[in-house]
Structure 1
Amino acid sequence: MDNAPLRFVLDPPVDAALRDGLIALWADVTDAGGAVGFVPPADPEQIRTELVHHFVAMAEGRTRLLVGYDEDGAVAATAYLTRNTHRLMTHWLWLYTVMVHPRHQGKGHGRALLSAAADAARTMPGIEAIRLTCRGGIGADTFYATCGYKEVGRVPGAIRVAPGDDRDDVIMLLSLT
């Protein structure tokens, strides 16, 4: 597969093809060791249940979905932009479930996804920053830092991947101003 750029779509229509593409992406990223809320082996039914939560938040207008499609039209990357509902924190949003399919990694698509997410956030009235969390110990925090995110907090051992395998929860921020 060549290095063709992904085509990013904010708020794509939700249909069976998108649902199935999101589940397949999430499973493939999980099975490749990605820190996206699950551990290998991926269970598509658990992923489906979590995806329904995202769809509900989207339907309620709290979350927006950004999808990157590859040259074949397959779901290749995602990020969810979720408004903070606390009245004193509505000037920033959360970025969740940031994924690039393993076959598309190492080609600059992760940077393109984060750039597209920042562009999307800038179109949302009142948003001045993006926060995300990532699992320590896998290099994600280093990657996000190279994309302009700053580490603003760390909770040691907050993520239990397996018995005896606790990872830091790293909190990162990107200012949009």
Structure 2
Amino acid sequence: MKPRIEENRSHPRLAGLLGAYHLVNQEEKGTAVGTVAELPAVYRVEAEDPAAAFAADTVLLATPAGADAPAGCVVLKAPRDGRAPEIKRLWVAPGARRKGLARSLMAEALRRAAASGAPAVRLTVWSWRDEPLALYRSLGFATVAPWDDRPDLLCLEKPLDAVERLSPEAVRAHAADGLAALLVDAVDGGASVGFLAPLEAAEAAAWWSRVAEEAAEGVRDVWAAPGPDGRPVGVVTLVRAGTANGAHRGEIARLLVHRSARGRGLGRRLLAAAEAHAAATGLTLLVLDTRTDSPAERLYRAAGWTAAGTVPDFAADPSGTLRPTTLYYKRLGQDDTP
């Protein structure tokens, strides 16, 4: 079972967690103190009155499965002076470690940062903290130019909803996990993407494994946006025409955004990445089809795609009901706006 994550800067256990964090932090820096009252003032106020110290911020607590009290915390600082939000005070009590609390806290903090529309999130970590540093790097954080010049302090940043092209090996690696979940979520949500409901995860994973082979053959390109846990929450593929007289043409296929990640413009960024690559590699025309009157039509129209026509009863929705489909095209490097 997963830990329970809650937001509560006034929880009675929070002061103890923050106090323990700061006492260990002072010891590791070689400036150990015996009690919270002896901490430097800037840290002491956090442990004595966290609700006031973090009044403008998001404080998350993690309770292990089966436990009745939080054993971990993290703070997502509100953006200030135009800077990215910052993650601070990640702490899990020693007796509750190796239970996924730290990763769950980070995943929720990243999800909330992304939902706020922040383009990135940042944090600092002491260079000697090997385990936290390994966790941050596994979540996609990378070292950047320092904004804090204290010796041995590393500054890390993670772009949110970054779109990246997946290698065939990466598609294989994600096939049975994030990519399969994306496809199952789309079908569960009623999307007409070639499958009927219920779609089994194994069938979805097998489809992505075939996509990996097509990517290796150069027939299909894949872009994905990783979520807070590193698994894809959005994906799009570009399929190249297989005929000599269609070498100028490609098809946008399987533009999927998990329902938990919608509303942040991720679909538009995925589409733009595929379009840019298509143009850069010599394609001059893209086509796609989507269910008529679906939310996806608004995205394509806003991105400059032109409706070529509607075909009735073209494909069945996940429930098996035949629905009309609208065909779209886009000339690359040209303006199709009337």
TM-score range, shorter chain: 0.7 to 0.9
Q: 1:49: Cα distance to partner?
A: 2.6
Aligned with residue 105 of structure 1, among 258, 262, 273: 262
Cα–Cα, structure 1 residues 16 and 132, in superposed 2: closer, same or farther, change >3 Å?
A: closer
Q: Does 1:9 align with 2:164?
A: yes
Deviation at 1:108, TM superposition (A): 1.0
Structure 2: how far apart are the matches of 1:15 and 1:64? Answer: 10
Measured in 2, the distance between the counterparts of 1:66 and 1:146 equals 20
The reply to whether residue 29 of structure 1 matches residue 200 of structure 2 is no
How big is the shift at 1:77? 0.8
2:156 aligns with none
| C-alpha distance 160-15 of structure 1, shift in aligned 2 (>3 A) | closer
Equivalent residue number for residue 326 of structure 2? 170
Match of 2:279 in 1: 122
Contact 1:63 1:83 survives alignment (8 Å): yes
TM-superposed deviation, 1:106: 1.3
For residues 154-169 of structure 1, what are the structure 2 equivalents within 5 Å?
Answer: 154-161=310-317, 162=319, 165-169=321-325
> Across the two proteins, how many residue pairs are aligned to each other?
175
Contact kept, 8 Å, 1:33 with 1:39, in 2: the verdict is no
1:36–1:99 CA contact under 8 A, matched in 2: no
The answer as to 2:223 corresponding to 1:53 is no
* SS state at 1:10 partner: strand
- Give the alignment partner of residue 304 of structure 2, picking from 148, 154, 158: 148
Shift of 1:16: 5.7
Amino acid at match of 1:7: A
Alignment RMSD, CA only? 1.9
d(CA) in 1 for partners of 2:171 and 2:296? 31
CA contact (8 A) 1:10 1:120 kept: no
Q: Output the CA distance in 1 between the equivalents of 2:309 and 2:245.
A: 19
Q: Aligned pair 1:90/2:90, yes or no?
A: no
SS in 2 for 1:174: strand
Separation in structure 2 between the aligned mates of residue 6 and residue 118 of structure 1, nearest angstrom: 18
Deviation of residue 105 (structure 1)? 0.8
When you count helix as a share of all residues, which structure comes out higher?
2
Note if contact 1:69-1:76 (Cα within 8 Å) is conserved in structure 2: yes
More strand per residue: 1
The one-letter amino acid of 2:265's match is: G
Counterpart AA for 1:94: E
| Pairing 1:134–2:290 present | yes
Equivalent AA in structure 2 for residue 35 of structure 1 = S
TM-aligned CA distance change 1:123 to 1:7, over 3 Å:
same
8 Å CA contact retained: 2:235, 2:270: yes
Given the two structures, how large is their TM-score scaled by the length of structure 1?
0.88
Q: For 1:39-50, what aligned pairs fall within 5 Å after superposition?
A: 39-50=196-207
Cα pair 2:172 2:212 within 8 Å, conserved: no
Q: Equivalent pairs: percent with the same residue? A: 25
Return the structure number with greater relative CO, CA threshold 8 A, min gap 6. 1
Q: More displaced, 81-90 or 132-141?
A: 132-141
Q: d(CA) in 1 for partners of 2:217 and 2:269?
A: 27
State the alpha-carbon separation in 2 of the partners of residues 56 and 170 from structure 1. Answer: 29
TM-score by length of 2: 0.48
SS of the aligned residue for 1:120 comes to helix
For 1:154, give the aligned amino acid. T
